Chain A
Amino acid sequence: MFVDLTDEQLVELSVSTEPDAFGEIVRRWERKIFALCFGMLGREDEARDAAQEAFINAYRSLPKFRGDAKVSSWLHRIAVNQCLTVKRRQKTRAEEYLGDEDEAEATTFVAAASGSPKHIAEKRERLRLVRQAVRALPVELREVIVMKEFEEMTFQEIADRLELPLSTVKSRLYTALKQLRSRLERLSVEVV
């Protein structure tokens, strides 16, 4: 019913006469928004909750959407803000319960289906450190890494989504990957 419409047309319909049109927007973007939230937060359960909250917030904010930005940029910004809210809550919780965050991280690891126990243990440790290093990056750098690696967007798509110049996007990603390399080396992780 709404498949042929653009995102902007769907938003207009959702605001005016067809609230169900927002369901098509959710269907189109749920995978990418979920990937973004996963890359930003590093945990499946938190990523699902954050993505769900992001879509709910977007639906509530539909009347405020003026069409100045693309719907994808608007959704992306809402999702990133939701992830930052979750991170703030995590920080507060971690301050209240020291050590709780590391313990929770360990329980979310998906073990490899095959390989020796030593190999599995090394991979588990490596992935944990990568997750930790990515989460330690500043938000604007983490954002472009996740968009590139999890959403598999081109540089131009990232620039359009973030409404930034292409050169800025490349500069941020370059800096982000270099910082990540530096952090992983400091953590004595073999990533190659």
Chain B
Amino acid sequence: MEVSDMAHDKGKMRHCEYTDSVLDFVYDELDASARSEFEEHLAGCDLCAEDVGAITASSFAVREWRQEEFEPLAPPRFVIPVAAAPKWSIAGLLGLFKQPVFAMSAAAVLLAIGIGTYFIVNLSTRPLQIDKAEVAPPASVEKPTAPAPTAGPLVAAVPKDEQPVAEAPEERTSNAVRSPKPLRTAPKVSRNSERPQISSHVVADNVDHDAAVPVSLAGEVPETQDRSLRLTDLFADESEDRGD
């Protein structure tokens, strides 16, 4: 509000007791007796007459604006998307999976559960398979001296596939665990591959490594086991032909 207007308005309000009725008169909110009383006052009060003129003019201007630009407008019809409070439902949960992030996460979890289940089931039901041809009994492997009567819980700690080499299949399972002597494990035969696997679970540190090395790979080959052809054999044949 401008300073000059405020001073002027306050001055007028101080000098005329009917100023408060100007608005009621312009907007027709005075009762009949108050209206006639104010009209009598208005005839002799220039300040109130000026006020009524100014306020009526302003009100008329705004009213014209409303009639010209607002009244012709179509009545509004607002539609508020009134939605019920979110509740947990199957449809709502399924709706979550329409989002790629949730769908991929769920797929990954299901895949992990499936793979885990597959391995758990197969490991617990895998039959004992040992390729006997590859389990050549080395001479140096010692038998366990004190076979345990029962494997008990210790058996579970050792994979069933790892068995002592030199024993019958029926005895291997329990003796392999209890044997205090150095043991040499047989190459494990994988179910999906013929490649032997060497396990370190039951190989003791005090293994006789020389004995454990296959004979064919040792440094000196005993003559009785050497099956290669020698020159003396050829010469011996020639001397026999000559009659030696």
* B-binding residues in A (CB < 8 A): 19-20, 22-23, 26, 30-31, 34-35, 38-39, 44, 48, 51-52, 55-56, 59, 108-110, 112, 123, 126-127, 130-131, 134, 138, 141, 145, 148-150, 154-155, 167, 170, 173-175, 177-182, 184, 189, 191-192
Contacts and interface: CB of A to CB of B under 8 A. Distances in A.
A178 B9 CA distance: 9
Closest 10 CB pairs of A and B: A177-B58, A191-B61, A180-B58, A149-B62, A34-B76, A181-B54, A19-B82, A181-B58, A177-B55, A192-B57
Nearest to A59: B80
Given A26-B80, A155-B29, A149 B63 contact: yes
B60 interface: yes
B23 A38 contact: no
A14 to B, nearest CB: 8
Contacts of A170: 20, 23-24
Secondary structure of the B contact surface, majority rule: helix
A148 B80 contact: no
B69 interface: yes
A154 B27 CA distance: 9
Interface residues of B, number: 40
B2 to A, nearest CB: 7
A112 B27 CA distance: 26
A94 to B, nearest CB: 21
B80 to A, nearest CB: 5
Nearest to A53: B78
Question: Which of the listed residues B22, B23, B80, B81 has the most CB atoms from chain A within 10 Å of its own CB?
Answer: B80
Interface in B58-84: 58-66, 68-70, 72-73, 75-78, 80-84
Nearest to B85: A19
B221 interface: no
A184 B70 contact: no
Contact of B69 (A127, A145, A167): A127
A178 B6 CA distance: 10
B72 to A, nearest CB: 6
B82 A20 contact: yes
B85 to A, nearest CB: 8
Nearest to A137: B1
Contacts of B55: 174, 177-178, 181
Given A35-B70, A109-B69, A180 B64 contact: no
A68 B195 CA distance: 84
A112 B53 CA distance: 26
Contacts of A52: 78
B40 interface: no
13 contacts: A19-B82, A38-B70, A38-B73, A39-B70, A55-B80, A130-B64, A149-B59, A170-B20, A174-B23, A175-B1, A177-B55, A177-B59, A180-B61
B62 A30 contact: no
B10 to A, nearest CB: 11
Contacts of A155: 23-24, 27, 29
A51 B80 CA distance: 11
Contact of B9 (A30, A154, A174): A174
